[in-house]
Structure 1
Amino acid sequence: MTETQDHETLPGSAQWMLTSLEPQVKDVAETMTRRVQSALTDLAGPVDGRRYRLIYTAIHNAMRVFIDRALGRSTPMTALDDLFRKMGYREAGTGRDRTTIERALHLVQNELWDLLRVLAADNELSAGALNAVGEMLSDFFAHLDEQLALGHESGTTDRNQDVGVARDRLIDLLLTGGDPDAVSTQASIARWEVPERITVAAIDVDGEGELEPGVLGREAIVGKGRPQLVLCDAAAFEDVSRQIKEALPRTRITHCWPIAAADVAEAWKWVTRAVELVHSHVIPKRPVIDCARYRTEIWLHAEPVMRRQLAQELLEPLFAESENSREILSETLLVWLETRESAPAIAAKLGVHPQTVRYRWKRINELFGEALHDPDFVIQLTLVLKASVPLWIAGDQSDFQLYRSTRER
């Protein structure tokens, strides 16, 4: 659609009908805005919200310009074109495609066409006159759709060249096992060369704000959310760690051992699991936590449902004991399983008399009997106790509650 007015041939009856619509533009725009927000959940929002005002402004201005131009008035398209290009640009800036905004545009076009057909019937407009209005409406909305597309294309180009956006995309690709060529492209835009050996770390903040990506310069890339993801060259981790501590003194840094780029997703699982285990008091709280020191704990807690099931099956004799008996027997049994030391050595480790250990061991044998001579049983018992005892010590009672609930059925 050009700036030239080319609608002088619009029948007079159609012009009169459009003139009668002018006083209703505000009310119609409000109604259409509510319908758009009701039909498209991505555009929903309160009537006094910013999103409502943006949609209303676009519909109201579009209707005004359409009627003016249909009536042959010298109304330029410049401002309206600019508005719709900005809308497309804004959608691209948020990373969304044009689907939702184009659906909204087509919904408004259909609603307006339905309204015009009702008015045409009320005013006994001829089929030819109505068709002329319909063609004009179709051309007008096709032009607006084109402006949305131009704005979106421009926004997409700018977004693709934005370092911050590229870093977010690079993180997403690394966490989802993205195509190596796509990783290379985004890394180039992000100005971060993917190292051969990467350290994956989580910033677990205690009462502080998030780490600003710029704090680490080009040495590392920082994700969003909590805990925050940090990726850096393994050789530079000590320096990166120091910078993090300077920016956020109370933060806790949990990091994995050096890995290849292809293993970033798995390493992030290990690191975030370690963070969870810190909060569960299975791993002690320290300013910097090296996952390499807690590989067993991370591994054993990889399948919490399986741990819980094995605990119910293998530790049933312990669960039937009193709380105090269960605590001292599980502690003694775990030390024996891990060390296979004598009673005096175990006693020294536990800080009790050797005779106390012998008494406890007698009770353990009564509970588990010949199963303690089965190598497979002993291996599973060691693992499930090693995974469970720290939880119990930290106050997690879910294993015992589950045991009691199954016995009450």
Structure 2
Amino acid sequence: MAGLSDDLALSDPAVAALRGALPEVAERTVRAIIADVPSYAGALTGPMGSTIQQAVQLALGGFVSLVSRGGGTEARTPTAGAVRGAYDLGRGEARSGRSMEALLAAYRIGARVSWRELSRTAVEHGVDAATLAEFAELVFAFIDELSASSAAGHSDELAASGRVRRRHLERIAHLLLEGAPADAVHAAVEAVEWTPPTTLAAVVVPSEQTRAVLAVVDPASLAPADELPMLRDGERTLLLVPDASAAALREALARRDAAIGPAVPWLEARSSVDRVARALDLHPELDGVLDTDDLLAELVVHADPAALAALRERALAPLDGQRADTRARLEETLRAWLLHQGRREDVAAALFVHPQTVRYRMGRVRELWGDALADPDVVRDLVVALA
């Protein structure tokens, strides 16, 4: 409030009159705020109305005390208690769900009404025009400092509550990933007043694309802070996207790099994460959209690497002893023959060889396997071993 003169003086009767008018001024101020700021509609009917009215009266009382003091401009600034009270008011308004715009609008209206009421009382008690102008400047400078403190409190509360909420949501995601009991997850949900979705789908994206991805999927997606191998030390981000089908995610992420898991009941989110992790084990690099629904057979076949290796060793034993290049050609031909159900022309087209080449190679395969190729169990094992 620098720039004000040091000789603003109000008579004792004027100060006394101002003090006596404070309850009525506070009530009129609060009524004007409630009438003109929709966010405060109905506030007078509950405890908040009494709290706001008391806060206004205390602030105005502090102002009257300020103008009744002598001294320089340093003595004419809101006291630490008034500033702290304004800060706490801002935090309380944020917790009540009212916006910064509503709070500042309340201050503007409060300043106007307070000035109108206080200046009327001052004039009635002989305050001259020059003193009244100085008085006006002091009123609005005082209100500006208090509103700035309230705005800071409002902003700090939103930031703090946002951090707390994010920590709670990360806690929920962590419990889901560790497979915690349902009652523990529900308790965490109640603590943050979060409405669980019907399903969650795991989506892994490069970390630099996270913000862009959140713009096209539900921004309420959970982002677990857990360190998972597939996230490559922060290079990738895991999102648990609520109520989105694989088809919807494919469409939304069509121009992104992402691995998409199935949408599963939200308490079973770990199963979607596990499927994405297995898919990335098989296809480590993210290049476009990797939908695990397209990899079901591959995921099943490779679910137990040791068992698959044992099956391959047993099923392909007749090829033992063949030269490496010969073995590779016979495996390739047998695989195509099984997939195309023995149709020689289709096998030849798939391998880009002449049908006679297929006939020759399959003749060699039959020599090695003999009648076993007619056994359904052998054929099943070969299909899996060569998948």
Q: TM-score, normalised by structure 1?
A: 0.47
Q: Which has the larger radius of gyration?
A: 2
Q: TM-score, normalised by structure 2?
A: 0.49
Higher RCO, 1 vs 2 (CA within 8 Å, ≥6 residues apart): 2
